[in-house]
Amino acid sequence: MEKNGKLAKIYLIAVFVVLYAPIAYLIFYSFNSGGKMSHFESFTWEHYAAVFEDKRLIGIVLNTVIVALLSALISTAIGVMGAISIHYMRNKAMRNVMLSMNSILMVSPDVIIGASFLILFTLVGIKLGFASVLLSHIAFSIPIVVIMVLPKLQEMSPTLIDAALDLGATRKEIMSRVILPFIQPGIFAGFFLALTYSLDDFAVTFFVTGNGFSTLSVEIYSMARTGVTLTINALSGLIFVITAGLILGYYVLKNRPRTPASGVKR
């Protein structure tokens, strides 16, 4: 068992090294005073200064973040509603249909989502730009939220609701005091995953974005052939530090105040 534990640790370390290698590589060269991602010359902050001077780049980053946050929020709201209504659907056949419908977008290749949304937006007359990108991101994030919330609903014993009813709770109270708190971990997981998908998306955005609007992925793709400047490296360094900081901060905050109940669970 001890030996197993050691092997497991080595394996995990290897996985983490590979996972973080490209990021470390990007950040390392962001301090390179030579203009390229090879031959480290000397340490400099100049590329970081360049990030803050580049108004266009900052605008694109803001676009990306705003789209990600808004789409994650809205898709979480709709997804949670969807998961709850699917879970409490009495008609089994209908339920299965809904579940299959839900999986469609989740497993749809990005190009298909992008291409079909492009047709849709063109036909309906939505101008390609912020609105079309946001709508697309909401649309492809909803099923992810549903998938993350449904297992929590299944875990929840129906007796909890019966108990709440017996104690005189109204529907609204059952929702806000029983169901939502119980499925909260699933909601958070769904939100974060939606955020991840949005920040990470390239293909769908590439299809539905117009001339005036660009997210980071699309911008870097168009730069990739002509050569990316180290400003982008510096930017990715900043993004990494901020996201990692936020996540770890969230984790620490969540785990510090130990209520008696959570203490018992452990």
Cβ burial, residue 229 (10 Å; 0-12/13-18/19+): middle
Select from 48, 69, 131, 151 the one that contacts another protein (CB under 8 A).
Answer: 151
Nearest-angstrom CA–CA distance, 10 and 4: 10
Tokens coding 167: 């104690």
Letters for 233-252 (x = contact with another protein by CB under 8 A, - = none) are ---x--xx--xx--xx--x-
Select from 50, 70, 73, 139 the one that contacts another protein (CB under 8 A).
Answer: 139
Write down the least CB distance from residue 111 to another protein, Å. 4
Select from 56, 200, 253, 256 the one that contacts another protein (CB under 8 A).
Answer: 200
Please identify, among the stretches 42-50, 51-59, 84-92, 256-264, the one whose residues bind another protein according to the rule CB under 8 A.
Answer: 84-92
Nearest-angstrom CA–CA distance, 154 and 109: 28
Considering only residues 42 to 71 of the shown chain, the ones binding another protein according to CB under 8 A are: none
Please identify, among the stretches 43-51, 116-124, 126-134, 257-265, the one whose residues bind another protein according to the rule CB under 8 A.
Answer: 116-124
Does residue 32 sit in helix, strand or coil?
strand
Q: b/e map of 189-224 (b: 16 or more CB within 10 Å)?
A: bbbbbbbebbbebebbbbbbbeeebbbbbbbbeeee
Residue 39 DSSP class: S
183 binds another protein (CB under 8 A): no
Q: Tally Cβ neighbours within 10 Å of residue 67.
A: 22
Write down the least CB distance from residue 107 to another protein, Å. 5
37 binds another protein (CB under 8 A): yes
CA 232 to chain centre: 21
Select from 209, 217, 231, 234 the one that contacts another protein (CB under 8 A).
Answer: 217
73 binds another protein (CB under 8 A): no
Contact of 144 with 197, CB cutoff 8 Å: yes
161 binds another protein (CB under 8 A): yes
Tell me the C-alpha to C-alpha distance, in Å, between residue 134 and each of 114, 192, 204, 217. 13, 16, 11, 15
101 binds another protein (CB under 8 A): yes
Tokens coding 62: 């803001």
167 binds another protein (CB under 8 A): no
Write down the least CB distance from residue 108 to another protein, Å. 7
Select from 108, 126, 130, 182 the one that contacts another protein (CB under 8 A).
Answer: 108
19 binds another protein (CB under 8 A): yes
81 binds another protein (CB under 8 A): yes
CB closer to another protein, 44 vs 153: 153
129 binds another protein (CB under 8 A): no
15 binds another protein (CB under 8 A): yes
